[in-house]
Amino acid sequence: MVRVPDGLYLIGTDEVQLETEAEEAGITKPWVLDATPAHRVHLSSFLIDRYEVTNGEYFRFVTAESFPVLPQWPGGRPRPDQERLPVTYVDWDEAGAYCRWLGKRLPTEAEWEAAARGPEGWIYPWGYFFDPRRANVGGLQSGPTPVGSYPRGQSPFGAYDMIGNVWEWTADWYKPYPDNTYVSDDFGEKYRVARGNSWAGLGHFSGKVLEQVEAVEARATYRLYFPPKIALEDLGFRCAKDAAKAN
């Protein structure tokens, strides 16, 4: 795990977006309206996994706790070439159960974003400009890559793959930020927030449009959300822990 120190962290964005801008690009949710306004959140020091949880790690949990074997494991266990790939097809409850098994928990949305953006509040873990060479995004790979494969994309605190590879569950419900004026029927205690984009490209886009969409969804401020019981091929997680409990 890596340590994120106690402090005030920038969450969200003040970027202006026309309400129809995402819809015109074929995106079903707004790019930034649900991530406004930018605000500072005080976080006590915490630890967060350096890497996304892997198939190999999750298999040990499945074996110890008699949890269901995952569909991508032929013969009931991950192949050797799957061991270091991020685990997927895990719903929110299963992800939380794994973290608790290790004395950890899912990170809050604010913790995840702080760990990705660092003390300066960068837009991406590596800085202010999109660089698809620093993360497994955009469908350039046919699936997830072994965790830690993009060292030039690690966050200021040393966490890998916070953008790309797989979306990651967080602890929080999808709710509006303080002073947010965007209205959505999806707000409330219906969906859990996922962060970080994934390897899967958006097949109906190409060229500059694809790069524009990927650059938006790869921002550490971008919020996506899913029903807690859903399990997807590009949705995984990492765990967090209060720093005080680790001492």
**The pLDDT of residue 139:** 81
**Mean pLDDT of all residues in 231-237:** 97
Two structure tokens written together for 107: 């990170």
**CA end-to-end span of the chain, whole Å?**
13
Collapsing DSSP states into helix, strand and coil, what is residue 215?
helix
> What pLDDT is recorded for position 199?
94
Whether 207 shows a pLDDT value over 80: the answer reads: no
Angle made by CA atoms 165, 171, 177, in degrees to the nearest 5? 100
Instruction: State if pTM tops 0.85.
Output: yes
Q: Give me the pLDDT at residue 190, please.
A: 96
Burial 160-174 (b: 16+ CB within 10 A, else e): bbbbbbbbbbbbbeb
Q: What are phi and psi for residue 235, nearest 5 degrees? A: -125, 120
Query: Per-residue pLDDT tens for 32-48?
Result: 899 999 999 999 999 99
C-alpha 232/C-alpha 25 separation (Å) is 23
Residue 202 has pLDDT above 80, yes or no: no
Q: Please tell me the distance from the alpha carbon of residue 165 to that of residue 179, in angstroms, as a whole number.
A: 32
Q: Which fold has domain 2-246?
A: paralog of FGE (formylglycine-generating enzyme) (3.90.1580)
Query: Domain ranges in the chain?
Result: 2-246
Average pLDDT value for residue range 142-151:
96
Average pLDDT taken over every residue of the chain? 91
Give the pLDDT band (50/70/90) at residue 63: very high
Q: The tokens of 51 are what?
A: 């890497």
Q: Is 162 helix (H, G, I), strand (E, B) or coil?
A: coil
Q: Is the pLDDT of residue 206 over 60?
A: no
